[in-house]
C-alpha cells in the first residue's frame, strides 16, 4: 500500500505536458480544482473525463501511475459515499429498512463527492508526476513573488513546500524498509483489532522520526556546504519563459471551464 502513494513523485518524460511552464501548470491545476466544484450535473463531468484523458495522453504517463495514486483513497471514497448516503435526508425516499433511510439526494451527493475526489487526485497527481521539484520551486516562487511587498520571502515558502512534497516518497520508502525490518524480527502489523494495529506501529514511528530528523539535518548541511543563501542574487540554469504551447494549454482549460459553466446553468 505504501508503494502505491505517488504524490510527490516525478516521472521524467519528453511530452507536451512536461514541457509546459510550471507557473502555467500550477495555475491551471488551481483552475481545474475550482472547475470541479462548479459542476452540479453528471453531464458536466463528461468534459472533465475528456480533459483528463487528453492530458494523460499528452503527458505520455502510464495509467499504472494514475491507478496507484487512486488506490490508497479507495477506503476514503467508500466511507465518504456511505456517510453521504445514510446521513443525508431529502424529499425523495427510495429505500427504508427500520431506521435506515436512503434518499435520492443522498445518492446524488455521494456520487458527486466520489467523482470530485477521484478527479481531484488525478489532476494533482499529474501536476507532481510531470513537474520536477526544481520547476515546482521556481514556479511557486514566481507566483508568490508579490508577497515580498509585505516582507514575506516567496523563495523560502516555495522551497519549504517543495522540500516537504519531495520528502513524501522518501519517507514512504523509509517506512517500508523499517516495517520490513521489524517484520523480519517477528513484528505483526496485520493481525489484531484496530487499536492493536495502531500500537504495533509504535516501533515504526520512533526510528522513522529519527531518520526524518537525520535526513533534514543532512539536507541542511548539504545546502550550507554549497553556500545556499536563499533567493537573493540566485541564478538559474533554466530561466522560465512562456511559449506558444502554454497558450494552447490555457485555451484548453478555458474551453473546459466554459463547458462546465454551460452545463451548470444552461443544460
102 beta partners: 95
In this model, does residue 84 exceed pLDDT 70? yes
What is residue 137's predicted lDDT score, i.e. its pLDDT?
A: 79
What is residue 49's predicted lDDT score, i.e. its pLDDT?
A: 92
- Integer Cα distance of 25 and 15 in angstroms: 14
What is residue 233's predicted lDDT score, i.e. its pLDDT?
A: 63
Q: What angle do CA 14, 15, 16 make, to 5 degrees?
A: 140
What is residue 230's predicted lDDT score, i.e. its pLDDT?
A: 66
What is residue 267's predicted lDDT score, i.e. its pLDDT?
A: 66
Render pLDDT for 174-186 as a digit per residue (tens, 0 to 9): 888 888 887 787 7
State the average pLDDT for the chain: 81
What is residue 252's predicted lDDT score, i.e. its pLDDT?
A: 92
Cell digits for 14?
A: 519528453
Alpha helices by DSSP H, the chain: 22-38, 45-59, 63-70, 74-87, 104-129, 133-143, 154-184, 194-200, 202-225, 244-265
Across the range 9-16, mean pLDDT stands at: 84
In this model, does residue 210 exceed pLDDT 90? no
Amino acid at each position: 500500500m505504501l508503494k502505491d502513494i505517488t504524490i510527490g513523485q516525478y516521472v521524467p518524460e519528453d511530452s507536451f505536458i512536461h514541457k509546459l511552464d510550471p507557473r502555467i501548470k500550477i495555475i491551471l491545476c488551481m483552475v481545474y480544482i475550482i472547475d470541479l466544484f462548479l459542476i452540479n450535473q453528471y453531464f458536466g463531468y463528461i468534459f472533465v473525463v475528456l480533459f483528463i484523458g487528453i492530458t494523460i495522453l499528452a503527458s505520455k504517463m502510464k495509467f499504472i501511475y494514475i491507478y496507484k495514486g487512486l488506490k490508497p483513497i479507495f477506503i476514503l471514497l467508500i466511507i465518504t459515499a456511505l456517510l453521504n448516503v445514510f446521513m443525508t435526508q431529502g424529499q425523495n425516499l427510495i429505500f427504508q429498512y427500520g431506521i435506515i433511510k436512503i434518499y435520492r439526494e443522498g445518492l446524488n451527493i455521494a456520487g458527486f463527492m466520489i467523482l470530485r475526489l477521484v478527479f481531484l487526485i488525478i489532476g494533482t497527481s499529474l501536476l507532481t508526476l510531470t513537474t520536477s521539484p526544481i520547476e515546482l520551486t521556481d514556479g511557486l516562487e514566481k507566483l508568490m513573488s508579490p508577497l515580498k511587498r509585505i516582507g514575506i520571502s516567496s523563495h523560502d515558502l516555495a522551497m519549504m513546500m517543495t522540500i516537504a512534497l519531495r520528502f513524501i516518497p522518501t519517507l514512504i520508502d523509509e517506512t517500508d524498509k523499517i516495517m520490513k525490518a521489524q517484520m523480519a524480527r517477528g513484528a505483526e502489523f496485520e493481525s489484531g483489532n484496530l487499536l492493536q494495529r495502531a500500537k504495533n506501529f509504535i516501533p515504526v514511528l520512533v526510528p522513522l522520526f529519527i531518520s526524518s530528523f537525520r535526513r533534514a539535518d543532512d539536507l541542511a548541511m548539504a545546502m550550507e556546504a554549497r553556500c545556499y543563501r536563499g533567493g537573493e542574487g540566485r541564478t538559474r540554469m533554466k530561466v522560465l519563459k512562456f511559449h506558444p504551447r502554454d497558450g494552447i494549454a490555457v485555451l484548453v482549460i478555458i474551453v473546459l471551464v466554459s463547458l462546465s459553466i454551460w452545463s451548470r446553468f444552461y443544460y
